[in-house]
Amino acid sequence: MRDNQISKLYRAEDAVFSPNGRKLISTSKCNEFINKIIRQGYYNDNGGFRIIRSRYPKIDSQCATWNLTGNLLTLPPWAKCKQVIIHEMSHALCDHIAMNRHKFRETVEPHGKEFCTIYLNMVHCYISKKIALELEESFTKFGIKYTRANLNF
């Protein structure tokens, strides 16, 4: 499936979460934050995967990824921050919801409308309403599609 919004989404994220302004956290803090997401709030309320394995490669050039096969979250050193964890956990929840609706993962665009709606709700729940509103404004500026009616703020 084509990922039509990926470059626009990354530009919209960078406008709110400056890559140079990322507050990196330790591996143990990453694990605590991932467990918090799994156990409470929007992700938990929407039935996200209960077990997420995480991997922390030492190579900085690697991408942060969510892999449905094995429920694996990969966070290289540059990605050990809340906004990247939320982005990747939004992929996990989007995949889980798509599977529960009997859709194949391939029918849901990786950074499409469904993902972006979930992502805004996750930012609201796990960072702040203020940042979620800033991100929504950035989505509008960059032409990112999402479903306003499904936002919880």
Helices 129-142/113-126 angle, 10° precision: 150
pLDDT of residue 102: 64
Number of other CB atoms surrounding residue 80 within 10 Å = 20
- Quick one: pLDDT at residue 70? 87
In this prediction, residue 44 carries a pLDDT of 93
The reported pTM is 0.93
Q: How do 53-55 and 72-74 pair as beta strands? A: parallel
pLDDT per residue, tens digit, the chain (153 aa), is 678 899 999 999 999 998 777 899 999 999 999 999 999 999 999 999 999 999 999 988 789 999 988 899 999 999 999 999 999 999 999 988 888 776 555 567 889 999 999 999 999 999 999 999 999 999 999 999 999 999 999
CA distance 49 to 17: 26
